[in-house]
Structure 1
Amino acid sequence: MKIILNIDKVFQELLLQEDIDQDKRITVEDKGPKKFHLASNGQEIVVEGTYFLSNLLQELILAGEQGNDYIDTEMIFEKPAERISRMIRDYFWDGLTRTMDEKGLENILTDSKSKAEKAIVYVPFTDHFAFEYYKKLASKFNLKVVQLPEKITPEYVRSINDEGGILSLALVEHNGEISGLPFVVPGGRFNEMYGWDSYFENIGLLLDGKLDLAKSMVDNFAYQIEHYGKILNANRSYYLTRTQPPFFSSMIREVFESMPDKDINWLQSKLEIAIKEYETVWMEKGKRLTDNGLNRYFAEGIGLPPETEQGHYDDLLKPYAQAANLSVADYEKEYYQRKIINKELDAYFVHDRSVRESGHDTSYRLEAICASLNVVELNAMLYKYETDFEELTTKYFKGSFMYNGFTYTPEYWKEKAEKRKHLMNRFLWNEDLKCFDDYNFETQKSINFLSATSFFPLWAGIATEEQAEKMVRYALPKLICLGGIAGCAPEALAHIGAEQMQRQWDYPNGWPPHQIIIWKGLCHYGYDDLAQELIYRWLWMITKNACEYNGTVPEKYDVVSASHKVFAEYGNQGTDFEYITREGFGWMNASFQYGLNHLTPNLRGELNKMTSPEDLF
């Protein structure tokens, strides 16, 4: 039912009565009456409770922006899970979409990470079209346009660390008009196209019918491989020597299989680029391929990563500063500027950058040893590349795919995958943990750290039925919390002192990619009921927090307390807004859409009633 209102007057009255802490939101922490009367045309509607009042606030904002003099009461009293899903589909994806063109540059160039006087766009040496395009826009946007050198070295990247410029992405020309292929950013302060975030965002985009946007995400990744040599951690200048967790074959496959009319030419071009990435980024020995035949993360670079917040490395630098009779700040500055050379720190920062390349920045699982590890999740992802290549070649290319003068057959890829599976079972299966575990190839030992990433082999189809049974029976319960799967088991942190800072990818925090991967993995092995339970726990937590905190959909959660109030470095993105969230957070949005799409009708009903998992499982 639509009711006519003086939108601005009702908005002000509602805030005055209910926004007691004046944070421009109505949350469970406001101690107002939690009861508001709407009067219109002789009718009175009573809105009670935090959730419905915050819905009213949001609908008043939207009505004002759209120039309406009415609101629809159905939207105020909308079922919680249905409202979150609708907001994601109809608003959040649009709020997170960017383009690197004249229409979209302002949204990107005003980013707080741009430290130089002028905003900077870096263009690959091989993209002259983009270089000329951005030069024409330079005066309009007070823009400095820099063409990257043909060979990008760690030394060059260090020389531009302080400038924080954005890296160009794909441009297309149609009917004489140039535009940038759109892409989705994670949200909050992450205003670039990030690596593995994009894969999980694509899962949500495809579910919400945004095929063209999902396809352009793949095309932008193809551009990065062609012009920067890798899929970047993000398209920011200081990420030029870092890649990201490899999900490209999954992205290609899922987008292609969603096309009503299968574009074989598109698939062929993207497979060629994916094979190029596989061979040049991951299978070059001595870098990301280790002597035992398995892979590691290995991000090149020199000195401190420039994107970290001030004080992040104080504890690490303190003993070196004391030995040099300098303050920590002065020591950090001189080391950053390479006036002080410290080989021990240089070695540490190889690991530190590699942690960031892994996407798990930061975790005690990887700290100070990342580049020495064959990590489970990376090798599972590359196994998925190999099996994807095998299956796509069989199904769409008649058993033969030629690229760069070499004929790739399904047998070729099957042999690669079988070899990797054998090596993973040899080096990464940990019978004590009853799970897969990261392997330190320097010490030749497992690290005995039970992590959510230990379950990626279920998603990739590597585990035997017997291994899967052991993992589900003995290992997985150690990660299950009120709100879903924690980043690691609490026992994995037994050696960490109480005074040490929590790492955001560890217990008690939970993250969307881990949830989705584990849900999918469980379903692959027939553990559908357990997958339903875990989906419910995660969606209940998201829904509960959105209901209590004005629609908040953040980056991560504390799954033990089932709260978005996370106490770890970097805080929690997606929580800073006024009146109404415009974006949520990219992969959290996707996890909600994916989970809701797979939840049984019965559990979906319980979710809308906000039934606690403790009452169901």
Structure 2
Amino acid sequence: MIVADTPAGLFGPLFAAVQESGLFPDSKTFADARPRREPAAILADWQSQRPAPGETLRRFIFANFDVPRAQPAPSPDGLKLAAHISALWPLLTRVSGEPAPGSSELWLPHSYVVPGGRFRELYYWDSYFTMLGLARSGRQDLVENMIGNFGSLLDRIGHIPNGTRSYYASRSHPPFFYLMAALSRDDSVGGRRRRLAWMIREHGFWMAGEGGLAPGGEVRRVVRLADGALLNRYWDDSDCPRDESWREDIALAAEAPARDARELWRDIRAAAESGWDFSSRWLADPLNLATIRTTRLVPVDLNALLFGLEQAIAEAARGLGETSRADDFAARAERRARAISDHLWNGETGHYADFDLDSARVSGRLTAAAAFPLFMGVASADQARRAALALERLLRPGGLMTTLCDSGQQWDAPNGWAPLQWIAISGLRRYGETGLADSIAGRWLAMVEAHYEASGQLFEKYDVVACAAGSGGEYVTETGFGWTNGVTLELLATQDEAGTLG
């Protein structure tokens, strides 16, 4: 299914011709281009002219589209790290204009902060970590604006897309909205009711299809296991190549001719919904992306977050006197907690992991996602202790590796990511595992600071083995960078509050 109002849907064969010709090194460039006139008129002219690939096609595209230019990396400014990050927020702040007809942009009512580089729009789970830093910088105005933007998306679309582009609207991202909502300082009854309504709407999106689902049943993002446990998986409501990575997805399908291409693309898109695009975590063969099987796994991080969402709804509803709703969601959270312990805890390896729907067993692969149940407080004391011992196996000179597998994918070794450091540090501290938490924080900050002093830049991801910029994936490592900025400020602040980290 190609979503009709995405660039691929609007421009059909023209879009495919541009993307598959490699006219732009980054497939996202043309997906983000703004048509200069009505899409139907552009498409009709292309069909009549049929410009040949190469310079003729390039001239046609630049005559009919405003093509986004690469964003320059922020210039080194000689400031101390925290001051540099605070100075970056205005450079990364955007305000929506009226989208041109046929543009992939989604309008937003308030100002917002983008990650940086090729990521020129608002992203979902990235924004929570950015907002931690905004709050530390005294930019509560932007925190409230971004909560309002996500609420607007829930009102208009029914869920929060991966990012604010039409081609992202068939999927979401890890559900961090309720944690963003908790950063609000609007304690009015009206504000609390709005945030509760938005959380309920998001929960409904993730649970769509749960009614009447029999044991062993699966529908979109919901699965009911053989024992009746109701859990969730990542999904995408489209099964075609991604607009922003069209050429890559077409090529991947060609590498696996025996596999149904639409099944492959759905699994690729589901991994994009997870935020871990891509990782050996989702692969049958850890070194072969064409073996991706995201939709056959029940992810531990997603279900820990949904446990937190159900708890947050129960607490907010009780505070507003909605006792029946509070009881319902508290019971949901309790059932999910049992299911996480029963199905997403690997007692043999001593860590949390994903449940494999095909083998009906929990995975033995250790990833940084194992920290999410600690972050959400769903682990028992013994599980937390054992999980901490397992997570220590991911510790390297620059912090926590994402997995133990060096596959060449960006969400694998040797890369570490700011959000996963923060999740692990927070979760470990929650259970009193302060030694490991402080070690992760201290190593990560030392690496980020050393790299900043040498280059004047912060990066999207880091190689925590070599203590250098990260690599791998579909695009070059970006600078900016929203969630690294936010987590770094939060860690610097907690370091100052707690004293020197070990």
Q: Which runs of 4+ in 1 moved over 6 A?
A: none
Tell me, yes or no, if structure 1 residue 392 matches structure 2 residue 316.
yes
Give the 3-state SS of the residue equivalent to 1:222 in structure 2: helix
Relative to structure 1, the CA distance from residue 194 to residue 279 in structure 2 (aligned partners, 3 Å threshold; closer, same or farther) is: same
Tell me, yes or no, if structure 1 residue 452 matches structure 2 residue 365.
no
Find the counterpart in structure 2 of residue 265 from structure 1: 190
**Alignment partner of 2:429 out of 502, 523, 527:** 523
Alignment of 1:248-397 (within 5 A): 248-256=177-185, 259=186, 262-285=187-210, 286-292=219-225, 293-308=230-245, 310-311=247-248, 314=251, 316-318=253-255, 320=257, 344-367=260-283, 368-394=292-318, 396-397=319-320
How far residue 228 of structure 1 moved from its aligned partner, in angstroms, is 1.1
TM-score for the superposition, normalised by structure 2: 0.77
How far residue 565 of structure 1 moved from its aligned partner, in angstroms, is 4.7
How far residue 263 of structure 1 moved from its aligned partner, in angstroms, is 2.1
Relative to structure 1, the CA distance from residue 311 to residue 238 in structure 2 (aligned partners, 3 Å threshold; closer, same or farther) is: closer
C-alpha separation in 2, matches of 1:467 and 1:548: 40
How far residue 58 of structure 1 moved from its aligned partner, in angstroms, is 4.8
Tell me, yes or no, if structure 1 residue 232 matches structure 2 residue 161.
yes
Q: Between Structure 1 and Structure 2, how many residues are aligned?
A: 408
Relative to structure 1, the CA distance from residue 485 to residue 319 in structure 2 (aligned partners, 3 Å threshold; closer, same or farther) is: closer
One-letter code aligned to 1:266: G
Relative to structure 1, the CA distance from residue 603 to residue 568 in structure 2 (aligned partners, 3 Å threshold; closer, same or farther) is: farther
Contact 1:206-1:255 at 8 Å conserved across structures: no
C-alpha separation in 1, matches of 2:146 and 2:422: 19
How far residue 448 of structure 1 moved from its aligned partner, in angstroms, is 1.8
Contact 2:253-2:264 at 8 Å conserved across structures: no
- Indicate the structure (1 or 2) with the bigger Cα radius of gyration: 1
Alignment of 1:87-486 (within 5 A): 87-89=84-86, 91-101=87-97, 121=99, 143-144=100-101, 165-170=104-109, 181-256=110-185, 259=186, 262-285=187-210, 286-292=219-225, 293-308=230-245, 310-311=247-248, 314=251, 316-318=253-255, 320=257, 344-367=260-283, 368-394=292-318, 396-398=319-321, 400=322, 407-409=324-326, 411-473=327-389, 475-486=390-401
Find the counterpart in structure 2 of residue 532 from structure 1: 438
One-letter code aligned to 2:382: E
C-alpha separation in 1, matches of 2:357 and 2:475: 31
Contact 1:502-1:569 at 8 Å conserved across structures: no
How far residue 315 of structure 1 moved from its aligned partner, in angstroms, is 5.2
Find the counterpart in structure 1 of residue 471 from structure 2: 566
One-letter code aligned to 1:571: V
C-alpha separation in 2, matches of 1:229 and 1:390: 20
Per-residue CA deviations over 1:294-324 (Å, capped at 9, x if unaligned) read: 000111113211211745663541353xxxx
C-alpha separation in 2, matches of 1:504 and 1:234: 19
Give the 3-state SS of the residue equivalent to 1:254 in structure 2: coil
Contact 1:233-1:244 at 8 Å conserved across structures: yes
Relative to structure 1, the CA distance from residue 265 to residue 602 in structure 2 (aligned partners, 3 Å threshold; closer, same or farther) is: closer
Per-residue CA deviations over 1:463-499 (Å, capped at 9, x if unaligned) read: 00010111112x1111101000111124xx6xxxxxx
Per-residue CA deviations over 1:527-560 (Å, capped at 9, x if unaligned) read: 22322221111010101111111x1101000001
Relative to structure 1, the CA distance from residue 239 to residue 319 in structure 2 (aligned partners, 3 Å threshold; closer, same or farther) is: closer
Per-residue CA deviations over 1:44-80 (Å, capped at 9, x if unaligned) read: xxxxxxxxxxxxx955xxxxxxxxxxxxxxxx6x6xx
Contact 2:415-2:470 at 8 Å conserved across structures: no
Give the 3-state SS of the residue equivalent to 2:312 in structure 1: helix
C-alpha separation in 2, matches of 1:408 and 1:546: 48
**Alignment partner of 1:86 out of 73, 83, 86:** 83
Relative to structure 1, the CA distance from residue 251 to residue 58 in structure 2 (aligned partners, 3 Å threshold; closer, same or farther) is: closer
How far residue 254 of structure 1 moved from its aligned partner, in angstroms, is 1.9
C-alpha separation in 2, matches of 1:85 and 1:273: 33
Alignment of 1:36-75 (within 5 A): 58=76
Per-residue CA deviations over 1:201-247 (Å, capped at 9, x if unaligned) read: 11111111111110111111111111111100011111121111101
One-letter code aligned to 2:108: L
How far residue 362 of structure 1 moved from its aligned partner, in angstroms, is 0.7
Contact 1:301-1:350 at 8 Å conserved across structures: yes
How far residue 250 of structure 1 moved from its aligned partner, in angstroms, is 0.9
C-alpha separation in 2, matches of 1:463 and 1:302: 35
Find the counterpart in structure 2 of residue 548 from structure 1: 454
Relative to structure 1, the CA distance from residue 415 to residue 482 in structure 2 (aligned partners, 3 Å threshold; closer, same or farther) is: same
Contact 1:294-1:423 at 8 Å conserved across structures: yes
Give the 3-state SS of the residue equivalent to 1:599 in structure 2: helix
One-letter code aligned to 1:534: I
One-letter code aligned to 1:217: M
One-letter code aligned to 1:385: L
How far residue 412 of structure 1 moved from its aligned partner, in angstroms, is 2.0
One-letter code aligned to 1:439: F
C-alpha separation in 2, matches of 1:558 and 1:313: 29
Contact 1:532-1:600 at 8 Å conserved across structures: no
C-alpha separation in 2, matches of 1:226 and 1:416: 24
Per-residue CA deviations over 1:313-364 (Å, capped at 9, x if unaligned) read: 63541353xxxxxxxxxxxxxxxxxxxxx97111111111100011110111
One-letter code aligned to 2:370: S
Find the counterpart in structure 2 of residue 19 from structure 1: none
C-alpha separation in 2, matches of 1:417 and 1:58: 46
One-letter code aligned to 2:198: I
C-alpha separation in 2, matches of 1:236 and 1:299: 15
How far residue 603 of structure 1 moved from its aligned partner, in angstroms, is 6.1
Find the counterpart in structure 1 of residue 492 from structure 2: 596
CA RMSD of aligned residues (A): 2.1
Per-residue CA deviations over 1:251-285 (Å, capped at 9, x if unaligned) read: 111223xx5xx222111112112101102333433
Contact 1:355-1:370 at 8 Å conserved across structures: yes
TM-score for the superposition, normalised by structure 1: 0.63
C-alpha separation in 1, matches of 2:244 and 2:401: 26
Contact 2:397-2:465 at 8 Å conserved across structures: yes
Tell me, yes or no, if structure 1 residue 507 matches structure 2 residue 431.
no
Per-residue CA deviations over 1:155-201 (Å, capped at 9, x if unaligned) read: xxxxxxxxx6111122xxxxxxxxxx101111110001111011111
Relative to structure 1, the CA distance from residue 384 to residue 310 in structure 2 (aligned partners, 3 Å threshold; closer, same or farther) is: same
The percentage of counterpart residues that share the same residue type is 30
One-letter code aligned to 2:376: A
Find the counterpart in structure 1 of residue 215 from structure 2: none
Relative to structure 1, the CA distance from residue 225 to residue 319 in structure 2 (aligned partners, 3 Å threshold; closer, same or farther) is: closer
One-letter code aligned to 1:250: L
Contact 1:508-1:559 at 8 Å conserved across structures: yes
C-alpha separation in 2, matches of 1:361 and 1:432: 28
One-letter code aligned to 2:439: E
Give the 3-state SS of the residue equivalent to 2:244 in structure 1: coil
